[in-house]
């Protein structure tokens, strides 16, 4: 029998498939279905900093200030209640799920700044969450803000959150750092027990008829696996934090590649949204079949086996790959 067990953030998991943050987890029956289908853990939909400050009556000032300059600016703020349950209901949701399912529940906080909202890290811990994922996203549009200042803001937030909780904290990283390896190391040193590579940002589009900027959401494909795959392979063995791969996980082959790069878990959302929760058992069976055919006894055996430190040609992960790829079109 193949052994699919792995560990992530100190949690023992029955296999490496984790349902990543999405609206699927808003419903308790969906989380129960995820567990029954074989998901090893679930990352809940995010609780946004904007919602927390809104409920604390702190967002009104910013809404009003923008409205004085641009009357239409109010339409750019999301209807947070359409996505979230609300602050206290979110905490209750965690508490209820811990009574209904046995797989680990990882809460998610989404925010750009280090304000009073980080106290909610302690609240999700008290509600029963097994771990916490920080989904950090600050879009620095001011040309006077340096990259170093943005990094320090993120690091301060991670340190603040980690100092308030005893449960493990993971950071969901952006790929848009000038030195990914360095900031990954700093996140780990700031207290992050895990790093999730990478956050998938949704870019706005233009409506040419209405002349409006509109939201645009497209599900991922397996082609998007290559960016996090490369960086997990580079980071494996160089930092202490556990590595999780997200973006582009759709098939058994995607999961296996993530493990060989050095990930502890492979996080999946788009495949579940597009084809349903019942895809998980088929993917798990395909993993078992591949492992048996290739004589792998366990997931642990393959983890990191194709990392930069393990392969015969480490330069394949760096500039040499770029030159070779261009040369293939000659």
Rounded average pLDDT over 34-59: 79
User: What pLDDT was estimated at residue 78?
Assistant: 47
User: What pLDDT was estimated at residue 179?
Assistant: 95
What DSSP character marks residue 309?
Answer: T
Residue ranges of the alpha helices (H) in the chain? 28-37, 49-55, 60-69, 80-83, 87-100, 120-127, 147-164, 180-189, 226-235, 252-261, 270-275, 279-293, 299-302, 319-327
Rounded average pLDDT over 69-76: 42
Q: At 118, is the pLDDT very low, low, confident or very high (cuts 50, 70, 90)?
A: confident
Percent of the chain with pLDDT over 90: 68
> CA dihedral defined by 7, 10, 13, 17, rounded to 10 degrees?
-70
> CA dihedral defined by 86, 92, 98, 104, rounded to 10 degrees?
30
Q: At 325, is the pLDDT very low, low, confident or very high (cuts 50, 70, 90)?
A: low
Q: At 93, is the pLDDT very low, low, confident or very high (cuts 50, 70, 90)?
A: very high
Task: Report residue 239 as tokens.
Answer: 């930092």
pTM: 0.86
User: What pLDDT was estimated at residue 297?
Assistant: 97
Percent of the chain with pLDDT over 70: 84
Rounded average pLDDT over 90-104: 97
3-state helix, strand, coil in the chain (%, to 5): 50, 15, 35
Q: What is the pLDDT of residues 144-200, one digit of tens each?
A: 999 999 999 999 999 999 999 999 999 999 999 999 999 999 999 999 999 999 988
Q: At 299, is the pLDDT very low, low, confident or very high (cuts 50, 70, 90)?
A: very high
Those residues with Cβ within 8 angstroms of residue 59's Cβ, 6 or more apart along the chain or in another chain: 50, 53
User: What pLDDT was estimated at residue 1?
Assistant: 81
User: What pLDDT was estimated at residue 316?
Assistant: 82
Rounded average pLDDT over 305-329: 74
pLDDT averaged over the chain?
Answer: 87
Q: At 83, is the pLDDT very low, low, confident or very high (cuts 50, 70, 90)?
A: very low
Instruction: Please state, in angstroms and rounded to a whole number, the distance separating the CA atoms of residues 273 and 289.
Output: 25
User: What pLDDT was estimated at residue 302?
Assistant: 97
CB 186 within 8 A of CB 147: no
User: What pLDDT was estimated at residue 53?
Assistant: 62
User: Is residue 119 scored above 90 in pLDDT?
Assistant: no
User: Is residue 326 scored above 60 in pLDDT?
Assistant: no
304: left (phi over 0), alpha (psi -120 to 50) or beta: left
Question: H or E stretch including 132?
Answer: strand 131-136
User: What pLDDT was estimated at residue 192?
Assistant: 98
Which residues are 111's β-sheet partners? 136
Of the candidates 132, 46, 138, the residue with the CA atom closest to the CA atom of residue 86: 46
Instruction: Please state, in angstroms and rounded to a whole number, the distance separating the CA atoms of residues 173 and 225.
Output: 15
User: What pLDDT was estimated at residue 67?
Assistant: 41
Rounded to the nearest 10 degrees, the angle between the axes of helix 28-37 and helix 87-100 is 40
Chain centroid to CA 198 = 6
Q: At 109, is the pLDDT very low, low, confident or very high (cuts 50, 70, 90)?
A: very high
User: What pLDDT was estimated at residue 63?
Assistant: 42
Task: Report residue 19 as tokens.
Answer: 């349902």
Task: Report residue 37 as tokens.
Answer: 């289908």
CB 284 within 8 A of CB 213: no
Instruction: Please state, in angstroms and rounded to a whole number, the distance separating the CA atoms of residues 224 and 221.
Output: 6
Q: At 321, is the pLDDT very low, low, confident or very high (cuts 50, 70, 90)?
A: low
Q: What is the pLDDT of residues 2-30, one digit of tens each?
A: 999 999 999 999 999 999 999 999 999 99
Preceding amide of 5 cis, omega within 30: no
């Amino acid at each position: 029998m193949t052994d699919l067990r792995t560990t992530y953030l100190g949690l023992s998991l029955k296999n490496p498939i984790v349902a990543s943050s999405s609206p699927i987890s808003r419903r308790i029956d969906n989380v129960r279905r995820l567990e029954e289908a074989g998901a090893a853990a679930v990352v809940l939909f995010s609780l946004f900093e904007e919602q927390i400050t809104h409920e604390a009556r702190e967002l009104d000032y910013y809404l009003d200030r923008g409205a004085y300059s641009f009357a239409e600016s109010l339409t750019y703020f999301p209807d947070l209640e359409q996505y979230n349950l609300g602050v206290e209901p979110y905490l209750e949701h965690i508490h209820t799920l811990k009574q209904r399912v046995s797989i680990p529940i990882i809460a998610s906080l989404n925010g750009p700044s280090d304000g009073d909202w980080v106290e909610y890290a302690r609240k999700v811990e008290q509600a029963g969450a097994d771990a916490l994922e920080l989904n950090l996203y600050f879009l620095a549009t001011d040309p006077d803000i340096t990259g170093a200042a943005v990094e320090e803001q993120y690091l301060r937030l991670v340190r603040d959150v980690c100092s308030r909780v005893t449960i493990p904290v993971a950071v969901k990283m952006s790929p848009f750092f000038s030195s990914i390896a360095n900031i990954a190391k700093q996140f780990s040193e700031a207290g992050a027990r895990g790093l999730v590579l990478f956050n998938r940002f949704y870019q706005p589009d233009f409506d040419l008829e209405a002349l409006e900027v509109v939201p645009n959401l497209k599900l991922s494909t397996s082609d998007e696996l290559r960016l996090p795959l490369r960086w997990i392979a580079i980071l494996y063995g160089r930092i202490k934090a556990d590595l999780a791969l997200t973006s582009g996980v759709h098939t058994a082959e995607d999961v296996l590649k993530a493990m060989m790069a050095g990930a502890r878990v492979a996080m999946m959302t788009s495949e579940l949204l597009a084809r349903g929760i019942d895809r998980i058992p088929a993917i798990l069976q395909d993993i078992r079949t591949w492992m048996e055919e290739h004589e792998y006894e366990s997931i642990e055996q393959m983890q990191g086996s194709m990392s930069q430190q393990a392969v015969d040609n480490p330069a394949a992960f760096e500039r040499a790959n770029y030159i070779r790829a261009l040369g293939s079109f000659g």
